[in-house]
Structure 1
Amino acid sequence: MSEKTFEPGIHHIEFWVANLEESIEFYRQLFSIIGWKQLNETAFSTGKTEIYFKEIDAELVRTLGPRHICYQAMNRSVVDEVASFLHNVQATIIRGPIEVKEYSEGYYTVDFYDPNGYILEVVYAPNMEM
């Protein structure tokens, strides 16, 4: 039996949310646009990274977390499609879609809030070195 090889990276991210049903519906639509697959009732994956959701009483938890999570788009039209989705669900858009040349040539982004106030970004960054 061969041993599976792993790469360094993020294994999973857990989102604590106030309303599981609302969050799953929002992310089901968003992730279908940017190429993530739904694994089960509460989880999504790219095949390398998993995000899952857990409903929790926000009054019990007081934590600070990352400023935002940025998802890579495969092209500019994906960013535009995400922006259209955000308008349709009346999400709050922070900026974009907009090209931000200070970051890198062709950096095309939309930043927004999810239903729980998480700040998210979807970007097409063809010239950015990682």
Structure 2
Amino acid sequence: MLHHIELYVSNLEESREFWSWLLDKLGYQLFQRWEKGFSWKLGDTYLVFVQTEDEYQEPRYHRRRTGLNHLAFFAESRDEVDYFTAELQKKGVSVLYQHAHPFAGGKDHYAVYFEDPDRMKVEIAAPE
């Protein structure tokens, strides 16, 4: 089982706004909050978000460079994937791979793909 993931972000407030509603809807609970970060927990696993110090802001993150490509979460159903898709669009968040949505991951993989404020790809997938 995964213990935690720690992500450094370029703008803590933007990331807090983006991730808080999403993680809340996925069943996570706010776990910790401090001046330079926050974390959300589900079961024994938690996600930590920390403000990147100015001297480390460049080069900017890009999911196609070496390192983390994306985080993928389970939805409870296809209807929940559709709910997240609609909410993301209301918030002005671009859904990736529009030409193949919601089957961009293959004909048996129902999911929505999008980016956080630092352009990290996030996926929410329905159970198969």
**Which of 55, 78, 89 is equivalent to 2:51?**
55
**Residue in structure 2 matched with residue 98 of structure 1 by the alignment:** 102
Larger Rg: 1
Q: Please list every run of 5 or more consecutive structure 2 residues that lacks an aligned counterpart in the other structure.
A: none
RMSD, aligned α-carbons: 2.3
- Residues 103/46 of structure 1: CA separation in 2 closer, same or farther (3 Å cut): farther
- 3-state SS, counterpart of residue 125 of structure 1: coil
Aligned residues: 116
The Cα shift of 1:60 comes to 7.2
Contact kept, 8 Å, 2:94 with 2:115, in 1: the verdict is yes
1:114 aligns with 2:116: yes
Sequence identity, in percent? Answer: 28
Q: Please list every run of 5 or more consecutive structure 1 residues that lacks an aligned counterpart in the other structure.
A: 1-8
TM-score by length of 1: 0.77
The Cα shift of 1:40 comes to 2.4
Contact kept, 8 Å, 2:30 with 2:39, in 1: the verdict is yes
Letter in 1 for 2:27: G
Letter in 1 for 2:84: V
The Cα shift of 1:100 comes to 5.6
